[in-house]
Chains A and B, each alone.
Chain A
């Protein structure tokens, strides 16, 4: 059963990648970005139309779109994502490096918002309609309707500009390379962007967990637990925790897509050289190989998040575990 589950998921991933690749190729082909212009950049004025044609021909730009797509897809399938025109480096190595930088930011923000959001949601749900619950809810609703970049700017103004506690930009001190920076320096630079992302990310998981907690506390099994003399705290931690955590974990994994989107904005505000910022650069400067590479990479990233959510559900929920044959 578990192999069937994996097979179905793999098949879906292949379908998804094919669909995303086709769609993004069509979009890029019909966009006003001219790959040759993007490639020659500032040297544009010094290049004759003949030379341009040579480049276009060498790249196969004179061929019909379907044939171009076929050749591109064929190269992608063998793992050749091309060379980034702005970094002059293979796309995969650019994505790899930038993703590692982003990964720590996203991992920190993701675990912070997950843990804090779940905790706050539990408290709010267990203390429904008290002042504490109202305050938590007010915070969550405010954050849910606040743009990431705005929070980033406010934090930057307070902690970096006025107080000077945190650096103003980048992932490590300017002038050093990634390898030269100490772990502490990198953490120091990571702090503010990660907090920005967490503050926003907390909202959804808090509100969701709160709803689930209230629902659990009103369920038949909680009423029965109360009849056995269990306190509210006892019900929340000894009885309902798993029932509340299960959907929360799913939600948290499924929110990887939003996290990625949030990271693009936060990295832009903090000039943090992660994958999100690279995406913006690739888009603005017309680096098509890199842009397409990032699109496909983020597809896999978001798919992995959803896949993990599904997998955890199957492993933790006994009803589904039985269906997948993991328990007798």
Chain B
């Protein structure tokens, strides 16, 4: 469904008058996802996870440059092709309720998303109704304004908005942030259902435990780079995990050893080598001067000199 190879995202900023400064936020990002699959993308905040979703949709700010190869349904995803796919075949479930316009009725916003996804004016009302009932939203919710929704309801409205069309690839950006456990479980359940109907779901999150409940595969980001691709089953024990960063994340979970004193990892512009080197226990000279390749390792992939 989607195959991303060596994606990089850079931002150009002007500092002190006309001095240009380029910041590379994502580099060497690889990811692929098949129909019917939930692919979890995990990493610390600031690892470039949300940027990935925005880059895939081509909605990054104007000062961002995206490079790399992206294939959607086997064909290269060019900006021209993207502008016809956005909302029709690729849909976003955004992070927070602020993605809904506070001054427009919920129903109007969902209906507009339906129209944009290619549903005719005649069919739009029934499609919206169906989307509402699928997510257990009462009919009158359509006449409400976003500020009248509860957290869980808002999440369901956002999901309904993204899935009202027939998009095959769903990008879910932090779908559980700020939700209580029961609501979070419900939101994740909806994503699993979507994957079970044959859609590909990209689940972007920092919550590993939640992600593992529904994911088939997991891609681990560290400082904007893919460091490991593993199946969800590999996370059952420490032994199956290939990259030291993934093991550190796993260790930080409350259910495991709960060791979590890792500093946020930032990519400094001039460093070469492995993005994780400064925090890694297995680090040696080679990690400092060359960036490891993303190697195949059993069913997954890993980017480490020592794996």
Interface residues of A (CB under 8 A from B): 219-221, 223-230, 238-240, 242-243, 246, 317-319, 322
Q: Chain B 62-84 against A: per-residue CB contact (8 Å), 1 yes, 0 no?
A: 00000000000000000000010
Could you say which residues of chain B place their CB within 8 Å of the CB of A240?
Answer: 101
Instruction: Establish whether residues A318 and B145, one from each chain, have CB atoms under 8 Å apart when the complex forms.
Output: yes
B247 at the A/B interface (Cβ < 8 Å)?
no
Could you say which residues of chain B place their CB within 8 Å of the CB of A224?
Answer: 92, 94, 99-100, 161
Could you say which residues of chain B place their CB within 8 Å of the CB of A227?
Answer: 54, 57, 59, 86-87, 91-92, 94
Q: Are A318 and B147 also in contact (CB < 8 A) when A220-B94, A228-B86 are?
A: yes
Q: 29 pairs across A/B with beta carbons < 8 Å? A: A220-B99, A221-B98, A221-B99, A223-B94, A224-B92, A224-B94, A224-B100, A225-B101, A225-B112, A227-B54, A227-B57, A227-B59, A227-B86, A227-B91, A227-B94, A228-B87, A228-B91, A228-B112, A228-B113, A228-B116, A229-B83, A230-B87, A242-B103, A243-B102, A317-B103, A318-B102, A318-B145, A322-B147, A322-B148
Residue of A nearest to B87 (CB): A229
Q: Are A220 and B98 also in contact (CB < 8 A) when A228-B86, A230-B116, A238-B112 are?
A: yes
Could you say which residues of chain B place their CB within 8 Å of the CB of A319?
Answer: 102, 145, 147
Q: Are A239 and B161 also in contact (CB < 8 A) when A223-B59, A226-B59 are?
A: no
- Smallest CB–CB gap between B108 and chain A, Å? 9
With beta carbons under 8 angstroms apart, the residue of B54, B94, B116, B147 that contacts A229 is B116
- Smallest CB–CB gap between B70 and chain A, Å? 16
Q: Are A229 and B86 also in contact (CB < 8 A) when A220-B94, A319-B145 are?
A: yes
Task: Please classify the interface of chain A as helix (H, G, I), strand (E, B), loop, or mixed, using the class held by over half of its residues.
Answer: helix
Query: A223-B99, A224-B100, A229-B86 are known contacts; what are 4 more A-B pairs with Cβ within 8 Å?
Result: A223-B54, A226-B86, A228-B87, A322-B145
Rank and list the top 4 A-B pairs by shortest CB-CB distance, nearest first: A229-B87, A224-B99, A228-B87, A220-B98
Q: How far is the CA of A229 from the CA of B91 in the complex (A)?
A: 9
Residue of A nearest to B85 (CB): A229
Could you say which residues of chain A place their CB within 8 Å of the CB of B103?
Answer: 242-243, 246, 317-318
Interface residues of B in 138-172 (CB under 8 A from A): 145, 147-148, 161
Q: Are A243 and B101 also in contact (CB < 8 A) when A227-B57, A229-B87, A230-B116 are?
A: yes
B286 at the A/B interface (Cβ < 8 Å)?
no
Most buried by B among A223, A226, A227, A319: A227
Could you say which residues of chain B place their CB within 8 Å of the CB of A238?
Answer: 112
Instruction: Establish whether residues A239 and B101, one from each chain, have CB atoms under 8 Å apart when the complex forms.
Output: yes
- Smallest CB–CB gap between A234 and chain B, Å? 8
Could you say which residues of chain A place their CB within 8 Å of the CB of B96?
Answer: 220
B104 at the A/B interface (Cβ < 8 Å)?
yes
B88 at the A/B interface (Cβ < 8 Å)?
yes
With beta carbons under 8 angstroms apart, the residue of A221, A226, A317, A322 that contacts B101 is A221
Most buried by A among B91, B92, B104: B104
- Smallest CB–CB gap between B106 and chain A, Å? 11
Could you say which residues of chain B place their CB within 8 Å of the CB of A243?
Answer: 101-103
Could you say which residues of chain A place their CB within 8 Å of the CB of B57?
Answer: 226-227
Q: How far is the CA of A170 from the CA of B58 in the complex (A)?
A: 59
- Smallest CB–CB gap between B140 and chain A, Å? 9
